[in-house]
Amino acid sequence: MELLYGPIRDYAWGSRSAIAMLQGRPVPSAGPEAELWLGAHPGAPASVQRAGLRVSLCDLVRDEPGKWLGQRVSDRFGTRLPFLLKVLAADAPLSLQAHPDAEQARVGYAAEAGRPPGERNYSDPHHKPELLVALTPFEALCGFRDPTESAEALAAFGVPALAPVVAALRTGPVGLRTAVQSLLAWPVAERDELLGSVLAAPADGPDAELARRLATAYPGDPGVLVALLLHHVRLGPGEAIWMPAGNLHAYLRGCGVEIMAASDNVLRGGLTPKRIDADELLRVLRFEVLEDPVRNAQPVGPGVDCWPVPVDDFALHRVRVGAAVPSVTLPLPGPRVVLCGAGSVTVDDGAGAVTLVSGQAAIGMATGEPLRISGDGEAYVATAGLG
């Protein structure tokens, strides 16, 4: 195993305490720290130490795929690490967004060939399903809820202009497309008036409180009302959100470990100053109710649990060692990225052991032996999901 050094992305919605506290650094940090990236994505690759220099994990995987990926992963995904492990820390809402499935990404990327980067929706030809496990209390909007509930939430504002949207939602899932399209296409000149009427309404309750919070952060943004069509989820530590392709979502607040297919394809619909392509978002959205976005940890052995997902790009295990379970051996094939989430753990893949404290990470080659994790702490182990 080797220490892995991940860059921190400084997006404006990031926390000035969560990642710093995880890594034992002074709080507050100098600026917002939104995501710690622990992978080989070219947008912000992690690195390892070589002869006193930091070497990009992208370069190592490209030059020696047999060592870093193994034959099965290389055969399935080519010369790229198929997953990206992150720590995500939000103090403000992220954009309202969805990700394409594999075919949509392939077609979209090819169709945009030749466009300048700032005019592209697709930065690569890959899908981006994702799983987020809460480290702290975590709040998110995830997937469409029952449209009749959304209809009542919007009707409670008593705003006549919303009547067609409410009527569409009352028809059930078949009306979701019409409702979302109507809200995203609301004339720009009338958006401030619409949201002003909503915020001035005497409506009370969680939906009204959420609308006011979002409108304060993003005034005049129709995504504020689209957000009310989604499940409003609050996670405790260890609970997870699974977001398959085509599901609209926005993370609102909290810190978690996130693992995803190694892609940066994001289609935004609001709650952001970044580029929005409502037509392309509508094309990839799944206009269906997501029955339950929350995943609970499933025990797979003493001190070990996981959150099963139906993709082979990644798998995530949590290992907790201490007095009750001094050590754990995981026979996980392929590349392994290990993040220490609390305490101190020693990770040994047969080629070398490394001790990690909270917020540190390590990577092992695919040619290593089963992982042995010991110590007194908690670790998250990311691998390909090929079994």
pLDDT digit string, tens, across residues 310-324? 999 999 999 999 999
Q: How far apart are CA 208 and CA 199, in angstroms?
A: 8
CA distances from 216 to 93, 195, 266, 269, 299 (A): 11, 11, 24, 17, 41
pLDDT number for residue 274: 87
Report the distance separating Cα 215 and Cα 217, nearest Å: 5
Mean pLDDT of 288-294: 93
Q: Dump pLDDT digits (tens) for 126-154.
A: 999 999 999 999 999 999 999 999 999 99
d(CA 373, CA 320): 9
Residue-level pLDDT at 52: 86
Sequence-distant (6+) residues with CB within 8 A of 254 are: 89, 90, 134, 135, 136, 137, 138, 139, 140, 235
Helices (H), 308-369: none
70-102 pLDDT, tens digit each: 999 999 999 999 999 999 999 999 999 999 999
The pLDDT of residue 387 is above 70: no
Dihedral in degrees, nearest 10, Cα atoms 68, 70, 76, 80: 10
Averaged pLDDT score across all residues of the chain: 95
Distances (CA, A) of 26 to 22, 36, 253: 10, 16, 21
Helices 176-184/147-155 angle, 10° precision: 40
pLDDT exceeds cutoff 80 at 207: yes
| HSE toward the beta carbon, residue 79, CA cutoff 13 A | 11
Q: pTM of the predicted model, to two decimals?
A: 0.95
Q: Is 233 left (phi over 0), alpha (psi -120 to 50) or beta?
A: beta
Catalytic residues: 268
Cα 10 to its chain centre, rounded Å, is 16
The alpha carbon of residue 193 and the mean position of all alpha carbons in its chain are separated, in whole angstroms, by: 33
Distances (CA, A) of 302 to 306, 320, 321, 338, 348: 12, 9, 9, 18, 18
Q: What percent of the chain has pLDDT over 70?
A: 100
Please state whether beta strands 361-364 and 336-348 pair in parallel, antiparallel, or not at all (unpaired).
antiparallel
